[in-house]
C-alpha cells in the first residue's frame, strides 16, 4: 500500500465561521484573515494505492460551478485534482474507488464534471465506484435550511444516475486496511476513514478536525450542525489518537498535512508535523 497527498487547490472561508466561539484575536494568529475576514484553506484529498485498487478519499470542490459561485469562495492556487493525480503518475481513469466522507460541495464537487460539449453532468471517475454513507445520503437529499447551501444537487444526483453509487454503513468492510468512524457533529453520519499503513494508523479527519488549528477542544466550526456533539467526538478521538499514536491527516489545513499528538497541561496538542510522503 502507498498513500499520496492530493492537493486540489485552496479556497477561502470566513474566519469567524471556521473557528466558532474562539475570538478573532486568538484565531487570527493561527490563520490570518484578509481584509474581508476570509482565511485561506486547503482542499486536500488522500489517494490510496493498494494492489489493483486506486482509492481516492474526497474530491475537492471541482471546477464546474459558475463564476458567481467561485466569487464567494475564492478558489485559488495552481493545484488541481487532475494535476495532482498526474504528479503521482495517475489519471482520472485509473481511480477504481471514491470514498466521500460527506457531500458538502468542498468535499465532493470534483466527483462530477461536464461532458466534452457541456451538455450533461457525468462522473469524473468513469471507472470508479462511489461510496457514501446511507444515512448521510438521505440527509443530503433532504437538507435543513441551515445546511442546504452546502449540498448542491449537481454534485450529488449524477452519482446516483450513473449507477456507480454504493451506499454503505460505518460497519462495512470495503477494503482490508480501511475502516470507518461515523460522527454526527458536523453533519449527519460523516465518515472518517481510518487507514492501517506501515503499522501506523492514519486517521482522515475530514471536517471533524479540519486543521491543526482545530485540535483544541473548544475550536469548533460555526458550520457544525451539532457543536456539542462535535466536542464529544473530538475528545474521544483525540484521546485514542494520543494513546495509540495515530497520525491525523488534515483536509483543510493550508500548510500542515499530518500530525501526531501529545498530552500537555493545556490538553491534547500537536507533537510532530509530518507529510504523508514521510511515512
**In this structure, are strands 200-204 and 247-249 parallel, antiparallel, or unpaired?**
parallel
First to last CA, the chain: 12
Q: Residue 171: its pLDDT value, please?
A: 87
Contact 111, 100 (CB under 8 A): yes
Q: Residue 189: its pLDDT value, please?
A: 98
All three cell numbers of 188? 449527519
Q: How many domains does the chain have?
A: 1
Q: Residue 116: its pLDDT value, please?
A: 86
- Cα–Cα distance, 135 to 88 (Å, whole number): 33
Q: Residue 117: its pLDDT value, please?
A: 87
Q: Residue 188: its pLDDT value, please?
A: 98
Torsion on CA atoms 210, 214, 216, 218, rounded to nearest 10? -100
- Cα–Cα distance, 24 to 37 (Å, whole number): 9
All three cell numbers of 55? 482509492
Question: What stretches in the chain show pLDDT beneath 70?
Answer: none
Contact 62, 275 (CB under 8 A): no
CATH of the domain at 74: 3.60.15.10
Among candidate residues 222, 207, 232, 226, the one with its CA nearest the CA of residue 20: 222
- DSSP annotation of 76 reads B
Q: Residue 170: its pLDDT value, please?
A: 85
Q: Residue 109: its pLDDT value, please?
A: 97
Structural domain of 79 = 2-278
Amino acid at each position: 500500500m502507498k498513500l499520496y497527498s492530493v492537493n486540489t487547490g485552496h479556497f477561502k472561508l470566513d474566519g469567524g465561521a471556521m473557528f466558532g466561539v474562539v475570538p478573532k484575536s486568538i484565531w487570527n494568529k493561527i490563520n490570518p484573515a484578509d481584509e474581508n475576514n476570509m482565511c485561506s484553506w486547503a482542499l486536500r484529498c488522500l489517494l490510496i494505492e493498494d494492489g489493483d485498487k486506486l482509492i481516492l478519499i474526497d474530491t475537492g470542490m471541482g471546477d464546474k460551478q459558475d463564476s458567481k459561485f467561485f466569487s464567494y469562495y475564492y478558489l485559488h492556487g495552481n493545484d488541481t485534482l487532475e494535476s495532482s493525480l498526474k504528479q503521482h503518475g495517475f489519471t482520472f481513469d485509473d481511480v477504481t474507488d471514491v470514498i466521500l466522507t460527506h457531500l458538502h460541495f468542498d468535499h465532493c464537487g470534483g466527483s462530477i464534471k461536464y461532458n466534452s460539449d457541456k451538455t450533461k453532468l457525468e462522473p469524473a471517475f468513469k471507472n470508479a465506484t462511489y461510496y457514501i454513507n446511507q444515512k448521510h445520503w438521505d440527509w443530503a437529499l433532504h437538507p435543513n435550511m441551515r445546511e442546504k447551501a452546502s449540498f448542491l444537487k449537481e454534485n450529488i444526483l449524477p452519482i446516483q444516475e450513473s449507477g456507480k453509487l454504493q451506499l454503505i454503513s460505518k460497519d462495512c468492510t470495503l477494503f482490508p486496511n480501511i475502516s470507518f468512524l461515523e460522527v454526527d457533529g458536523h453533519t449527519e453520519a460523516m465518515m472518517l476513514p481510518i487507514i492501517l499503513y506501515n503499522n501506523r494508523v492514519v486517521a482522515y479527519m475530514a471536517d471533524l478536525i479540519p486543521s491543526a488549528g482545530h485540535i483544541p477542544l473548544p475550536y469548533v466550526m460555526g458550520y457544525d450542525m451539532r457543536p456539542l456533539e462535535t466536542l464529544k467526538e473530538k475528545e474521544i478521538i483525540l484521546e485514542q489518537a494520543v494513546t495509540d499514536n495515530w497520525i491525523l491527516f488534515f483536509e483543510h489545513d493550508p500548510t500542515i498535512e499530518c500530525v501526531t499528538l501529545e498530552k500537555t497541561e493545556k490538553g491534547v496538542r500537536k507533537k510532530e508535523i509530518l507529510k504523508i510522503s514521510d511515512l
